[in-house]
């Protein structure tokens, strides 16, 4: 059977943590490109979707953690970033 059939029905298998936010984004982009190509078998597509959902949640949680740190550094006031250096 395929690897996808070894995953519990609720999709909560242990997933390998990415090394960094950037590596998670890169892996997610690669997964999306392969899925959009239309050349994946259905079982592999399901497994890739599950991995992509895991990576997306990982990225979101890292971004939220950074935002929380910025709020602490800015004394609780999140300031808009204009992108221009002063």
Confidence at residue 14, expressed as pLDDT on a 0 to 100 scale: 77
Angle (nearest 5°) at CA 61 between 56 and 64: 125
- Place 75 in a pLDDT band, splitting at 50, 70 and 90: confident
For 17-71, what is each residue's pLDDT tens digit? Answer: 999 999 999 999 999 999 999 899 998 999 999 999 999 999 999 999 998 888 7
pLDDT number for residue 77? 67
Minimal CA–CA distance to 35: which of 18, 21, 55, 17? 55
For residues 3 and 43, the model is more confident at 43
List the chain domain ranges: 20-73
pLDDT value of residue 84: 59
> What fold is seen in the domain 20-73?
Helix Hairpins (1.10.287)
């Amino acid at each position: 059977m395929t690897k996808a059939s070894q995953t519990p029905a609720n999709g909560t298998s242990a997933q390998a943590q990415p090394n960094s936010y950037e590596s998670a984004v890169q892996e997610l982009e690669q997964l999306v490109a392969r899925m959009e190509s239309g050349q994946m078998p259905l079982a592999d597509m399901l497994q890739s979707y599950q991995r992509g959902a895991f990576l997306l949640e990982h990225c979101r949680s890292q971004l939220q953690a950074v935002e929380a740190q910025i709020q602490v550094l800015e004394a609780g006031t999140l300031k808009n970033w204009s992108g221009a250096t002063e």
